[in-house]
Amino acid sequence: MTEQVVDIPVKQPSKSWTQQVVSSLLKRTSAKIGLAWIGLLVLIATFSPFLASSHPLYMVVDGQASSPLLQHMEPLDWVWLSGFFITLVISALSIVAWKKILLWAASIAVVSFIAYSSVTPPVLVVYEHYREMEAAGKVDNIIRAPIPYSAKDYLRDYADTGIESPLSVKERTHWMGTDENGADVASRMIHASRIALGIGFIATGIALVIGTIIGGLMGYFSGIVDIIGMRLVEIFEAIPTLFLLLSFVAFFGRSIYMMMVIIGITAWSGYARYVRAEFLKLRQQDFVQAAIASGLPLRSILFRHMLPNGLAPLLVATSFGVASAILAEATLSFLGLGLVDDPSWGQLLNQAVQSSTFNWWLAVFPGGAIFMTVFAYNLLGESLRDAVDPHTNRGMQS
Amino acid sequence: MKLLEVENLVTELGEGENWLRAVDNISLTVEAGQTYCLVGESGSGKSVTALSIMGLLPHGQYRHPDGRIQLTDPQGKLPEIALLNADDETLRSVRGSRIAMIFQEPMTSLNPVQTIGEQLEEVLMIHRPELDEETRKQKILAALAEVRIPDPEGRIREYPHRLSGGQRQRVMIAMALICEPALLIADEPTTALDVTVQAEILKLMRDLQTKYGMGMLFITHDFGVVAQIADVVGVMRKGKLVESGKTADVLRNPQHEYTQSLIAALPERLIRPDRPVKPEKVLLEVKDVSVYFPVRRGLMRRVVDHFRAVENVSLQVNAGEVVALVGESGCGKTTLGRALLRLQDVTSGSIFLEGQDITQVSAKAMRPLRRRMQVVFQDPGSSLNPRLPIHTTLIEPMRVHGIGNSDAERTQIAARFLDRVEMPTDSLWRYPHEFSGGQRQRLAIARALVLEPRFILCDEITSALDVSVQAGILRLLMQLVDEEGIGMLFITHNMGVVDYLADRMVVMHKAKLVESGNTQEIMKSPQNEHTRNLLDAVPRLDDNYLASAI
């Protein structure tokens, strides 16, 4: 071979498959609606302490300025906030996708550790305190959150509180009314958006990881591994998630994290099936055979050549999975087996039917939020399916 | 006697604002008892022309700004019909009874959940409602016997999956001819079939045409087939009919430069370069290799039998030599190729690469050896990882095998090989979907070359490509073998390619090796019966094969 030097043109990256899918996704109205709603939900979840809180953002009492809100921020609030900005920064970095994910996970872990070890908000919270001070005229200057009620502020200082329809009481502004304990519904809904988002992502994340690993192994090795794996899948598919959740709640008490894990470890079988089918198909593809024939290590064949090509149906399944995880939590809370004190959409919905009268605001707002979120994920899933499918894609272009 | 007249047909495909002119101002006439062959490369608009005549284009996604298609009855009994933009009712009455169509893929053109008999009967029930059940059955049996399906009585109760590709195509022909149409449109009916089966089907179609005096519009990309079957030929390019005339005239004496270049690109017409004399050095030696696949049955998946894919095959490839491995589909060529590369375990026998026995080497120990033997596959659509830019595809194997010290150096090497396979160096930053089939095959060759292998296996690498693209790839391979001294095993079913490329050839039949030797000698005087059948079946463009002009 002659050793001439060839001019290499400057790198002009053309659109990769991912970029094509994203741009085709963003052309679809349904995807835009879905993403807009989920984005709004993320913003609300991140900034919920600033949107709805009884603690004033800024307060001057006797000439002393303070920010009770910042003092009362929970470690979880800090993790959400910093997580949001970490995500923004990392997505702007130009590094490989798997490095991004790794970096993200590592920084979230570090931030959580710092937050839980250093932030100690006062244990005793007296919400009435601020309103009493204000009524006594001690406060010189005050800036409150747009909704000046915390999720667990049951308005004990107003003797007449209880269930109220929206804007029915002159002295207090409850845009969406109050629940049976007198807590502001709008505030509870804002704080509950975290649970809706969190349960969707964490439960689906767990299912996705387990499903991809088991499905990938089944598909690549086939034979006896496949036979055992498929039996495992069948066993897990036979477990009724809701009843398992109910019995776990009955035995071990109510914990949102336990719910996430249980939903996660019962939902992986669907993903495993998808990955297995894709891998069985891909294993016979020429480029995978060529990769084996080039002597590439198994790690590269599995993760560089097979997984990215088998990801498309998985992405679609994931967005539907998130929706069903949210629904599972809402169902459980609706049945009264969800969280006790912490807000959740399903729990608010439950209160709509419990009292003797039908409280429409407790049905419409949380029900609407659950509907919109599940709908948004389904819209996203549908458009993603169309975007990754070359046949429907062609229909769009012509 | 005019049967079908197409005048200035224009077909545009698309939707909304975007329209693509697939057929551009085509005029042709099919006469009764005559075969009109439309020939052209992929994307030239041959099939769209046929579908326009049948009115089978997808609803709402086509339009005909101009043109006229007239179907007449040579006997003058039936009314003359304008087919273009005719309503569904008219088209339905014509389809099947006066015009019938056969498609390319026999595997999917029959309904898998209905028996052969039911599918044939349905056609009769619709177009010949006056017949009673017994007459229908007689007609079906007669039609199947006519296309030479053995035991028609038993076959009518069988489902399509029980039939081979060639038999299914025969059933398709029977179905098309059962109502005795005046015109038969055949869209590449033999492309998916083996040469020997193709020869039988072509002969059958010719016989039936003579018997019934049908007109036939035959679409193909293969000039050999044209020479065998056509009376009149039309050459299409990018939707236009560039040349048409009597087959013998067009093929012997093409007027348009495109036709000339197409005919010159046929492997049997390519100019053969002088081959350098090479010292005989054994590169790859295969001794008595067998590959069996276990057949498992029952609840416990016990092995009840073995499917013998390759049985006792021995062959040898020297450095700087091309050995062609020829055989019909299902004869075990591809399995043998995969076994040589250790992509498939062998049941018995041994494989030596440059004197080293690699038959039982573990997968891990095999990895460094893989550098010396590379592979290029058949399907350009799946031979490159669609998610990776060409740069990564080429660099990664080099990095694994320690070629080049830095990625910059490897990029330099990759660019040099791209240049070698006549691809622009900015391909490095592109993704596979931006390339055509022929370009992708070149890139796949570059991927094989970057590891500087001693041996390359080419598995039907040109069979999915157009002739002109194939000619370019064949020339490139020849150069590589001669200049780099690579040994190559070329799996193919195309005898023209074998004749052009191969120094020696090996013929396989039903898992066994039946003949091997010097290409020229085997081509001239095949010793084995199967080799003879294979060679006889190849449609050639020799003058004595040209169907005599009417």
A191-214 average pLDDT score: 90
Picking from B379, B385, B416, the nearest residue to A6 by CB comes out as: B416
A204: distance to nearest CA of chain B, Å?
Answer: 25
Tokens found for residue B423 = 């691809």
- Show residues of chain B in contact with A18, CB under 8 Å: 387
- The per-residue pLDDT for range A92-120, each reduced to its tens digit, is 888 877 888 899 999 999 999 999 998 88
Tokens found for residue A348 = 């608010």
A166-170 average pLDDT score: 76
Tokens found for residue A123 = 């244990």
pLDDT of residue A161: 64
B70: distance to nearest CA of chain A, Å?
Answer: 30
* Contact flag A16-B379 (C-beta cutoff 8 Å): no
- Which strand ranges, in their side-by-side order, compose the sheet holding B487-492? B373-376, B455-459, B487-492, B322-326, B504-509, B512-518
A11: distance to nearest CA of chain B, Å?
Answer: 6
Q: Chain B within 8 Å of A284 (Cβ-Cβ)?
A: no
Estimate to the nearest angstrom the gap between the alpha carbon of B298 and the chain centroid: 37
Least confident of A9-18, A275-284, B203-212: A9-18
Residue B53's closest CA among B67, B34, B30, B69?
B69
The Cα-based distances of B145 to A198, B155, B170, B173, B204 in angstroms read: 69, 10, 10, 12, 12
Burial environment of residue A330 by CB neighbours within 10 A (0 to 12, 13 to 18, 19 or more):
buried
A84: distance to nearest CA of chain B, Å?
Answer: 29
Picking from B14, B386, B484, the nearest residue to A17 by CB comes out as: B386
Rounded distance, CA B447 to CA B15, Å?
39
Rounded distance, CA B363 to CA A295, Å?
9
* Contact flag B425-A296 (C-beta cutoff 8 Å): no
Q: Chain B within 8 Å of A12 (Cβ-Cβ)?
A: yes
Picking from A16, A292, A397, the nearest residue to B431 by CB comes out as: A16
Using pLDDT thresholds of 50, 70 and 90, give the confidence band for residue A341. Answer: confident
Q: Could you give the percent of chain A with pLDDT greater than 90? A: 23
Using pLDDT thresholds of 50, 70 and 90, give the confidence band for residue A350. Answer: confident
Mean pLDDT of chain A: 84
* Contact flag A294-B451 (C-beta cutoff 8 Å): yes
B14: distance to nearest CA of chain A, Å?
Answer: 6
* Contact flag B411-A7 (C-beta cutoff 8 Å): no
Q: Which amino acid is at B466?
A: D
Percentages of chain B per state (helix, strand, coil), in multiples of 5:
40, 25, 35
pLDDT of residue A45: 92
pLDDT of residue A13: 62
A181-198 average pLDDT score: 88
Helices marked H in B147-297 — which ranges? 152-155, 165-177, 195-212, 223-229, 247-252, 257-264
Rounded distance, CA A315 to CA A388, Å?
9
Whats the size of chain B, residue-wise? 550
B412: distance to nearest CA of chain A, Å?
Answer: 7
- Show residues of chain A in contact with B430, CB under 8 Å: 14
- The per-residue pLDDT for range B140-163, each reduced to its tens digit, is 999 898 888 888 888 888 888 888
Estimate to the nearest angstrom the gap between the alpha carbon of B508 and the chain centroid: 19
- Give residues with Cβ within 8 angstroms of A220, minimum separation 6: A279, A283, A302, A306
- Show residues of chain B in contact with A296, CB under 8 Å: 396-397, 400
Residues lower than pLDDT 50 in chain B: 543-550
Rounded distance, CA B166 to CA B226, Å?
19
Picking from A14, A17, A290, the nearest residue to B377 by CB comes out as: A290
Q: Count of H helices and E strands in chain B?
A: 19, 20
Higher-scoring residue by pLDDT: A14, A95: A95
pLDDT exceeds 90 at position A169: no
Q: Chain B within 8 Å of A9 (Cβ-Cβ)?
A: yes
Picking from B382, B416, B429, the nearest residue to A12 by CB comes out as: B429
Using pLDDT thresholds of 50, 70 and 90, give the confidence band for residue A11. Answer: low
pLDDT exceeds 80 at position A332: yes
Residue B342's closest CA among A304, A289, A285, A282?
A289
Residue B226's closest CA among B469, B539, B4, B543?
B539
pLDDT exceeds 90 at position A302: no
Estimate to the nearest angstrom the gap between the alpha carbon of B483 and the chain centroid: 30
Among left, alpha and beta (phi > 0; psi -120 to 50; other), residue B511 is: left
> Choosing among B371, B385, B401, which should be mutated to test the A contact, i.e. which has the most A CBs within 10 A?
B385
Task: List the Cα angle B415/B378/B441 in 5-degree steps.
Answer: 20
Q: Chain B within 8 Å of A171 (Cβ-Cβ)?
A: no
Chain B residue closest in CA terms to A305: B385
Rounded distance, CA B276 to CA B184, Å?
50
pLDDT of residue A394: 43
Q: Is A396 helix (H, G, I), strand (E, B) or coil?
A: helix
* Contact flag B425-A7 (C-beta cutoff 8 Å): yes
- Show residues of chain B in contact with A308, CB under 8 Å: 387
- Give residues with Cβ within 8 angstroms of A19, minimum separation 6: none
pLDDT of residue B295: 82
Q: Chain B within 8 Å of A11 (Cβ-Cβ)?
A: yes
* Contact flag B389-A398 (C-beta cutoff 8 Å): no
Other beta carbons within 10 angstroms of residue B334's beta carbon come to 21
pLDDT of residue A390: 58
A36: distance to nearest CA of chain B, Å?
Answer: 28
* Contact flag B382-A285 (C-beta cutoff 8 Å): yes
* Contact flag A16-B367 (C-beta cutoff 8 Å): no
Determine how β-strand B232-237 pairs with β-strand B35-40.
Answer: parallel
Q: Chain B within 8 Å of A123 (Cβ-Cβ)?
A: no
- The per-residue pLDDT for range B13-23, each reduced to its tens digit, is 887 778 888 89
Mean pLDDT of chain B: 87
> Choosing among B382, B403, B481, which should be mutated to test the A contact, i.e. which has the most A CBs within 10 A?
B382
